[in-house]
Amino acid sequence: MKNLGYYNGKYDEIENMYIPMNDRVCYFGDGCYDATYSRNHIIYNLDEHIDRFYNSAALLRIEIPHTKDEMKAILKEILSKMDDGDCFVYWQATRGTGIRNHAFPDDGSKANIWITFKPCKTQPIDTKLKMITLEDTRFLHCNIKTLNLLPSVIATQKAKEAGCDETIFHRHGRVTECAHSNIHIIKDNILVTAPTDHLILPGIARANLIKMCKKLGYGVDETEYTLDDLMNADEVILSSSGSFCIQVVEVDGKKVGGKAPEMLKNLQDALVKDFMDATDK
């Protein structure tokens, strides 16, 4: 199949799938999700993404009707039906189905499981990004990968209209993350990245970046930093599941980074190699 949708055990091409109107996602965005990429029909960092998915569900008090191993097996089985093994892999759990009511369903209905696959490759590592900044007005549970993404949608649209690629969020000058990525800086051969508190999502790519820095002998500082720090950094780096370590070259129309090309290249090469090695048959 060219693409694939799955809902509670039923699957077909995405265009042929239909979802009950009373799924709580339709009214409240009541659920959580996770996503990664596959290559050669092998899902990258699946264990880490599954762990984060179940953690998000637990924080939302959503009980997933499968064990972690069962969930991984479902994803692998559905992926095996795809013609193209290089895919964007997305899955989510919603808090069941029922007539609209803000309170949880009384009948103890099981979570609904959605999965989609579409052919897609990771972003070229030599991409150069332009960004804008916006005040972070989202809620205070950004560590949970919820389906409530309207602020990120609006921020991404503003970036697009400005001719840019992403939006950097900040709270009164403190950099948090991007609309759908994590953001980091390099200063004096040290990776500086916001701490994993309730203001940012604990990115899997962020964790890989930290691990690779330590493996290569670079320092890591998981601490708060400001927009001024970012604008004066040696490098500004974006990371996400499909963009392992991408250089940011412009923020709000001003040039940034470009002062630590060797460290940046070493990290990029190492992270791409890790992805290739993990998804080689």
Residues taking part in catalysis: 145
Q: Are 7 and 37 in contact (CB under 8 A)?
A: no
Cα(42)–Cα(217) distance, integer angstroms? 29
Look up residue 108 and give its two tokens.
Answer: 């103890």
Paired strand residues for 166: 131
Residue 4 CA to residue 117 CA, distance in Å, equals 5
Q: Around Cβ 242, how many Cβ atoms within 10 Å?
A: 18
Cβ within 8 Å of residue 243, ≥6 positions away: 122, 123, 127, 181, 205
DSSP secondary structure, 13-53, as one string: -GGG----TTBTHHHH--EEEEEEEEETTEETTHHHHHHHH
Q: Of 25, 5, 217, 2, whose CA–CA distance to 116 is shortest? A: 5
- SS3 state at 276: helix
Residues 185 and 232: their CA atoms lie apart, in Å, by 9
Report whether 144 contacts 116 (CB < 8 A). Answer: no
Residue 11: CB atoms within 10 Å: 20
